[in-house]
Structure 1
Amino acid sequence: MTERYEGSFFGRRKGKPLSPRREDLMARELPRLTVDLTGPAPEDLKSLFEADIDRICLEVGFGGGEHLLHRARTEPQTGFIGIEPFVGSMAKAVAAVVDEKLKNVKLYDDDAVNVLDWLPPASLDLAYQLYPDPWPKVRHWKRRFINEQNLNRYARALKRGAEFRFASDIDTYIDWTLRHCRDHPKFEWTAATSSDWKQPWQGWPGTRYEDKAIREGRVGRYLTFRRI
């Protein structure tokens, strides 16, 4: 069993009160959309989705949902599992999934570690972690999600040759992630030139966190690692 950090990798879960409609959607629709971890995972994760899909993608901490929802809309044959503990962000995603009748999205509103430990080995074709909480104070670095134990979890769940994609605008977290992935035997950085990690991936829709970073004078970096 992979060691678990005793504590959360995320901060507060609630912000402004939800509108009555979103309160209703969270109560009525989130249970239907939630990945049920109470039993073992199905042998084929494709059975989780209403859509006919051919690959599985995980996004840990989808924030405002801009990236998750864009990918789900433009890649209807990909099944997306989106994880986000912040209630306001989850309510926004639930509303979009219901309103747009997206059948290729499943959600989870708690610690991503729970899902990673539940997933079958070699079941993911792609994983994203975009602009995660950087926990900038040194004494809080142990809360950063990227660490040896969680990279073990990603490595177990990803298929060999699959990609793990990470974005951040915080230099110390970029360096932290590069160092941890460099030292991990199951991942290799795919960058061949200096520009490879300075440009977002094809079809990138942007996110509100990226917009905030740009407004505040920070630059996003986009790291791609291959599961070997």
Structure 2
Amino acid sequence: MTDEPETFDPNPPRRNFYGRRHGKTLRQSQKGYLAEDLGDLRPRGITVADNPDREPIDPAGIFGDDRPVWLEVGFGGGEHLVHMAARYPQVGIIGCEPFINGVAMLLGKIRAAGVTNLSVHPGDARDLMDVLPDAVLDRAFLLYPDPWPKARHHRRRFVTPEHLIPLARIMRPGAVFRIASDIPDYMRQSREQVPPAGFELIADTDQPWDDWLSTRYEQKALREGRVPHYLTFRRQG
């Protein structure tokens, strides 16, 4: 008997870097936000249903002009996303979040803040990375991502080549990638995995960025005695 030759699958099955999609039953107001607001905020051409051939989309079509575009991967409850949109109205920010309860929370915050420079994809950030052209993002955020603490699940973390290389492709040379977490091993893996994907580490500190807004996940970490840490990378090229 001879050994079967190894084969390479150019389209391996995706491993989710996030956890659950649904949580507690939504309040009636949150159901209203989803029904009334989400449709106008969703970027077009992201899903396979809208774009079966996965043709590249024009990011200028999302916000109606050629403003700088930022991306937040997994915005949680949306506190940071809305804060940055209000602080930088000249920028268009796309938030991606598979957890529908978080999406509903964000939509309520958008209504309250009255910001108009946000676009919301209620799903996997890889859907967006698949269809954005090269070198279009000026900034990206990965804030308190799912830690996947068990060693056998570390390959599900976002900071692995299968996610970082597509992210690097859509970021401009010189663009900034920020990561915040209270999990030391997540930061270790980030330091190891992000630079080979095409980034340079330019800041590694326990002091937040000047324009930072502490999120509910960070507040929970602080209450439980965990120390937040902040990494800043620059896209090389």
TM-score normalized with structure 2 length:
0.87
Q: How far is 1:101 from its partner? A: 3.1
Secondary structure at 2:205's aligned position in 1?
Answer: coil
Match of 1:67 in 2: 80
Match of 1:219 in 2: 227
Say which of 117, 141, 144 aligns to 2:157. Answer: 144
Contact 1:3-1:149 within 8 A present in 2 as well: no
Match of 1:134 in 2: 147
Kindly, what percent of the aligned residue pairs are identical? 43
1:74-95 Cα offsets, whole Å, 9 max, x none, are 1111101001111111001112
Say which of 5, 16, 22 aligns to 1:14. Answer: 22
Moved more, 80-89 or 34-43: 34-43
Say which of 162, 182, 202 aligns to 1:190. Answer: 202
- Highest CA radius of gyration, 1 or 2? 2
Secondary structure at 1:85's aligned position in 2?
Answer: coil
Match of 1:175 in 2: 188
Structure 1 runs not aligned, ≥5 long = none
Alignment coverage as a number of residue pairs: 221
Contact 2:79-2:109 within 8 A present in 1 as well: no
Structure 2 runs not aligned, ≥5 long = 1-8
Match of 2:63 in 1: 49
Q: How far is 1:5 from its partner? A: 4.9
Aligned-CA RMSD value: 1.9
In 2, Cα distance between equivalents of 1:89 and 1:76: 22
Q: Which amino acid aligns with 1:197?
A: T
Q: Which amino acid aligns with 2:200?
A: E
2:31 matches 1:23: yes
TM-score normalized with structure 1 length:
0.90
Q: How far is 1:146 from its partner? A: 1.0
Q: Which amino acid aligns with 2:91?
A: T
Secondary structure at 2:194's aligned position in 1?
Answer: helix
In 1, Cα distance between equivalents of 2:182 and 2:33: 33
Q: How far is 1:7 from its partner? A: 3.0
Q: How far is 1:96 from its partner? A: 2.1
